[in-house]
Structure 1
Amino acid sequence: MTDATTLASRSCEACEKGTPPLDADKAREMLQQLDGWNIKDDGRAITKRWEFKGFLKAQGVANLAAAIADRQGHHPDIRFGWGYCEVDFTTHAAGGLTENDFICAARIDAALA
C-alpha cells in the first residue's frame, strides 16, 4: 500500500478554531505522498490544476472534488472553466494546512485514477 493509498483510506477529523497547522517540514513530507499537488500561499494551502479538452470533464472533476470534500466535512476552493479545474485546500480553523487537506487531496486523486 502506497502512502497516497494510505492517505486516501483515512477520514478527516473535525478541526476547531485554534487547531495548529502543520509545520512546513511536515507539510512538505505529506506533499510527497500526493501526485501533482503544490504548496501555495506561503505554506498555508495546497493546490492542483487539471487540464482537459472541453468543459464537461472540467465540470465533472469540480463536482467530484466538491462531493468528496463535502462528505469529509471539508470545503476547498474550486475553480473551473473550459479546459481546466483547480482545487485548493486549506484548513481555515487552523489558519493553514492540516492532515485533512492531504487526505481530501489523496481521495480526489484516488477517485480520478
Structure 2
Amino acid sequence: MTHLAQQQCEACRADAPKVSDTELAELMKQIPDWTPQARDGVLQLEREFTFKNFKLAWAFADKVATLAESEFHHPAILLEWGKVTVTWWTHAIGGLHRNDFIMAARTDRLLDE
C-alpha cells in the first residue's frame, strides 16, 4: 500500500462519499498522531504541533498554508506561541474524505523539511 503522503488528492464534489467507520479505522493507523474530532456534527482530523517559540510555529503554519494552497484544500490553522493546531476536513461534504488523511500525512512530513 502506498503511504498516504505519497498519494494524490482527488477533486471532491458535494456528493463525494465520506470515509466509512472501517476506512476511518484503517486510515488512522497511518496518521496515529492525529485525532478524529466531531464539531457541530462534522468529523474532523486534528493535531497539535509544538515548537520552541512563536517564530518556529509561524514558519510551520506558513508551510501548512503553502501546502494547502497547492492542493486547493484548506484546513483550519490556529497559530499560538509555540503551538500550531491544524484541523483537516472536507467542507463540501461536511466530514472526512480520503483527501483529509492524505493532507494530514503530508502535514506530518513538513516537520522533516
Q: Superposition RMSD on alpha carbons, in Å?
A: 1.6
1:12-63 CA-to-partner distances (Å, cap 9, x unmatched) read: 1111112121112211210110141110016711000011221011111111
Superposed CA offset, 1:58-101 (max 9, x none): 11111111111211110000001101000000001121101100
- Give the total of aligned pairs: 110
The structure 1 segments of at least 4 consecutive aligned residues displaced by more than 2 Å after TM superposition are none
Match of 1:12 among 9, 16, 22: 9
Note the residue ranges of structure 1 that are not aligned, 5 or more in a row: none
Structure 2 residue runs without a partner (length 5+): none
Work out whether residues 76 and 89 of structure 1, in 8 Å CA contact, stay in contact via their aligned partners in 2: yes
Indicate whether 1:21 and 2:18 are aligned: yes
AA of the residue aligned to 1:39 = P
Distance 2:25 2:72 in 1: 23
Conserved 8 A contact 1:12-1:103 = yes
Name the residue aligned to 1:85. 84
Aligned residue for 1:44, secondary structure, equals strand
Q: Distance in 2 between matches of 1:29 and 1:67?
A: 28
Length-normalised TM-score, structure 2: 0.89
